[in-house]
Amino acid sequence: MEIAVLPTPRVNWKMNLFIIWLSQFLAMVGFGCCMPFIPLLLKENLHIDDPNVRGVYTSIYYLASMLSLCVATSVWGVLADRFGRKLMLLRASYAAALFYPLLAFAPNFWVLASIRFVCSFFSGTVNPAQTLLIATSPSEKHGWVLGVLSTAVSSGNMLGYLLGGLLVDRFGYTCAFVTCGAIYLTSAILVHIFARDDFSVALAKKQRAKSPHKFKDVATPAVIWLLVMFLLVGVSTRLIQPYMALLVERVQAERAAFYTGIVSSASSLGGFFSGLCLGWLCDRFAPRKLLLPLLIIGGIFTAAMAYSTNIAMLIITKFVAAFAGGGIKPVLQLMLTKITRPELRGTYFGWSGSVNTAGGIVCSFLGGSVIWLTDVRGVYMAAALILIIMIPLMIPTVRAIKKEFVVDPDATAKDLKKE
């Protein structure tokens, strides 16, 4: 496979990493202020008391979000390759600042779900942030960059969950959701003023005219297998995401909102350390060699969460599962960069984001069905099983990647040896 490398202006990638890290940290603080508490908001604000019914409504709410985001991510990814990566990050950040606070004022569930649908289409900051950083950083630092960015997501969520739990506990849901919007606005302004993009619209247009890309040439076997893996990890991760509050309520009934924030923070702490460790390891070892232990540990400890008998056990198992699970998607993302062309990274990252989100669509149906037929613990067992299923699928994925691996012209002998 031949790569056409676009000449680009110089960007201080370290400064860009710092600015985008800070912006995503703030964005995730905002996100964490409101998202874990939707099942409790349904009970307190919209008076949906039955836990099984709330489980079904929660699934419908997340289905609306996933359907919208699944379509939007690919659309925005293609536009990023045409008009620039920074523009897409700004669009997502400003949209989140506008729409998230509106959720607190929804008079009924269907308005709530409709607002979330619109919000998901225009927001979603992580994918454009990843694309912008990969496009403006040296190839030998991609593992480190993705790992460091994942620490922003994890640590931001951690603080956001704690802040959201305190705000909900003391001041109610409206305060938490409005705070979310204000923090997203701060993140957007930071990117607007300080972040840099090395993208040239004229140069990208010239490149497309010179070397048009057919779908069959872009969607290679290795790309398809990786997209399957992104889909499955999306199902596993998003299957349990909406139901943490219900599991905490099952284990620790009193002050469920507060303890949901604590457990979610433990999850984010695990993801934070995962980003640091795996970002360092990915630049020293082939990412595919790290995937197997991550899947095994993630599967075991996700299952262990289902059998937690007290809040302390739930916190510990969630931490370890998040440490392993937090590294799976960045490792897959880095594997994708090894077989794809730089000028199409926005498109490829859009695809990976869309199929990962499609996993959320699957589990919006699957999660509601499982929780209706069993209980919330059954959802966690199903998520663990999916991670275990991914292990044998590594065989055809790795074989295809080895065949399509693209040698970076700037790669050193050490870089080639690790692959």
pLDDT of residue 7: 41
Apex 268 CA angle, 266 and 272, nearest 5: 115
pLDDT of residue 228: 92
Give the C-alpha separation, 342 to 149, whole Å: 19
Find where tokens 């540990």 sit.
297
The half-sphere exposure of 123 on its side-chain side, counting CA atoms within 13 A, is: 26
Give the C-alpha separation, 277 to 292, whole Å: 16
Cβ(182)–Cβ(54) under 8 Å?
no
Cβ(243)–Cβ(267) under 8 Å?
no
Find where tokens 């299952």 sit.
303
Q: What are phi and psi of 407, to 5 degrees?
A: -80, 120
Token duo for residue 36: 């874990």
264-280 average pLDDT score: 79
pLDDT of residue 146: 83
pLDDT of residue 21: 94
Token duo for residue 348: 């490829």
Q: What are phi and psi of 310, to 5 degrees?
A: -150, 170
Provide the pLDDT confidence category of residue 260 given band limits of 50, 70 and 90.
confident
pLDDT of residue 413: 43
Provide the pLDDT confidence category of residue 410 given band limits of 50, 70 and 90.
very low
Which of 52-56, 72-76, 293-297 has the lowest average pLDDT? 52-56
Give the C-alpha separation, 362 to 325, whole Å: 19
332-336 average pLDDT score: 86
With a pLDDT cut of 70, the percent of the chain lying above it is 89
Cβ(364)–Cβ(240) under 8 Å?
no
pLDDT of residue 209: 60
Cβ(281)–Cβ(408) under 8 Å?
no
Task: Tell me the Cα Rg of the chain.
Answer: 21
Greater pLDDT, 204 or 85: 85
With a pLDDT cut of 90, the percent of the chain lying above it is 24
Most confident of 141-145, 225-229, 408-412: 225-229
Cβ-proximal residues to 242 (8 Å cutoff; 6+ apart), any chain: 38, 39, 58, 59, 61, 62, 367
Greater pLDDT, 395 or 413: 395
Cβ(62)–Cβ(39) under 8 Å?
no
pLDDT of residue 407: 44
pLDDT of residue 389: 93
The pLDDT tens digits for 386-399 are 999 999 999 999 88
pLDDT at 412 over 50: no
Most confident of 2-6, 66-70, 86-90, 220-224: 86-90
Token duo for residue 90: 């700004």
Greater pLDDT, 241 or 16: 16
What value does the mean pLDDT of the chain take?
82
The pLDDT tens digits for 17-51 are 999 999 999 999 999 888 777 888 888 888 887 87
Which of 75-89, 305-319, 364-378 has the lowest average pLDDT? 364-378
The pLDDT tens digits for 150-209 are 888 878 877 887 788 888 888 888 899 999 999 999 999 999 999 988 777 777 666 656
